[in-house]
Amino acid sequence: MKRTLHFLFSAIIFCSMISCGENEKPAGEEEIFWIHSYPMVCNLNLPNSNLCLGISRTAEPEFDFSALERIPAEIEGFTLKPYTVQQIKVLKITQTNQEEPVRKLIEILAEEKDYYELLEGTWEVKSHLGESLPNANFPDGQTVYLTPPIKRTANSTDGCNSISLEIRKVGPDQIQSFGGMMTTAMACIDKTPISPFPGLGNKFKREGNTLTFYTDKPGEETIWVKKH
């Protein structure tokens, strides 16, 4: 009898040490955040650093990409969905023998389409305000390059300086928010500046390899054709 009691007591102590019980959940905390549909560099100051996931813990997705929190790219059970921002719930498990916590997907709570894919690529401006290019206002024509989504900028020239414009939230027929603009800021003599991104702020319609930007006024359309 004493041996039996001693065995049971030892088993209870052992189970408490190794967490016996088939239904016991792993220790951790739940997190809810929006996760963007493409990876980004972990360190903005090191462009060649490893890739992370960009997340925001706000009620709505955050499209100011400098404000996004970076976390390790692996979430168990989760796969990035192209051009879709997803709100997910995860279990975050911190382990003493690992530098980074482990995250496991619990549930996908919401999805929002990101329409940047409609703009991505290199575009030749064929006409602006009803006039074909090149013309007196655009003597060299005009090309606009919208980078892959990791960087997400529109790049062109004002006829002298190189211009870069951050693209933030993109809807199905119009860019809904822009970020900052950067320029090489060279002094240009006898150069009349031109619009680096003609039509870009207007509503648009994508048909095949053609982007048409338009306003409510007839004749103010701008047509871009995709080069590659």
pLDDT confidence of residue 26: 55
Q: What are the pLDDT digits (tens) for 149-185? A: 878 899 999 999 999 999 999 999 999 999 999 999 8
| pTM, entire model | 0.80
Residue partners of 11: CB distance under 8 A and separation at least 6: none
DSSP lists the bridge partners of residue 56 as 34
Q: E strand or H helix at 103, and its extent?
A: strand 102-113
Integer Cα distance of 162 and 182 in angstroms: 8
Q: Range with the lowest mean pLDDT among 8-17, 90-99, 196-205?
A: 8-17
CA–CA dist 37, 82 (Å, integer) = 5
Q: Is the pLDDT of residue 37 over 50?
A: yes
Instruction: Label residue 194 by pLDDT band (50, 70, 90).
Output: very high
What's the confidence (pLDDT) of residue 25? 52
Task: Give the model confidence (pLDDT) of 91-147 as tens digits.
Answer: 999 877 767 889 999 999 999 999 999 999 999 999 999 899 999 999 999 999 999
pLDDT score of 210? 97
DSSP run (H or E) holding 40: strand 40-41
Largest Cα–Cα distance of the chain, in whole Å? 105
222, 116, 156, 142: CA torsion to nearest 10? -30
